[in-house]
Amino acid sequence: MKPSTKEVIEHFKMSILPIEGTYFSKTYESSTTNVNGGPDGTAILGLYSDEPRSCSLFHKLTFDEIWHFYAGDPIRLILLYPNKEIKTVVLGSNFKDGELVQFVVPKGVWQAGEIVPGGQWGLFGCTMAPGFSANSFEGGYYKDLIEIYPNAKDYLERLCVPKDSENLLPKDYKD
């Protein structure tokens, strides 16, 4: 029997990532630092779910991020490229239907993610080298992104950082 969302959250000791809104658990952080002062590498487990709702609101990173699909229902990434291209990618275990088990989101690409409609939960991992740090993250506001990506309106309306919320992590943020 498939574990419940609550069981997955408890098993992996997950908490909510500020601003972005994803259930996550840090699994690795390099003990060495890069020239920017952040860790040389990081890895997390993440969970998208329908109830409780867990998704990634639009954000971009200053380094490439490698996504890995592990278990559960498929998840969808929505990607907004600097050249105004809009792309969706489905990560899951059914490669015969075109689902991917791994995908790289290039630095500077706006990204959001969610469980595919009808799914209960999807467990994934994200790896970065150089590693994730507070100053590598910027959340996306609707008012800014809709001007550049008007064809992504449906995604932007439900997956942008709320207008009255902060979109940058505090410089001293540690998860």
Highest mean pLDDT: which range of 28-32, 70-74, 161-165, 168-172: 70-74
Topology of domain 5-15+28-159, per CATH?
Jelly Rolls (2.60.120)
What mean pLDDT is reported for the chain? Answer: 94
Mean pLDDT within 43-71: 97
Q: Percent of the chain, pLDDT > 90?
A: 81
Strand pairing category for 102-105 and 137-139? unpaired
pLDDT band at 163 (very low <50, low <70, confident <90, very high): confident
DSSP label of 131: P
Mean pLDDT within 157-170: 82
In terms of Cα–Cα distance, which of 21, 105, 23 is closest to 61?
Answer: 105
- Res 173 pLDDT > 70: no
Q: pLDDT tens-digit profile of 74-117?
A: 999 999 999 999 999 999 999 999 999 999 999 999 999 999 99
User: What pLDDT shows up at residue 175?
Assistant: 62
* Distances from the Cα of 164 to the Cα of 11, 18, 49, angstroms: 33, 14, 24
* pTM of structure: 0.93
pLDDT band at 170 (very low <50, low <70, confident <90, very high): low
In terms of Cα–Cα distance, which of 51, 149, 153, 158 is closest to 109?
Answer: 149
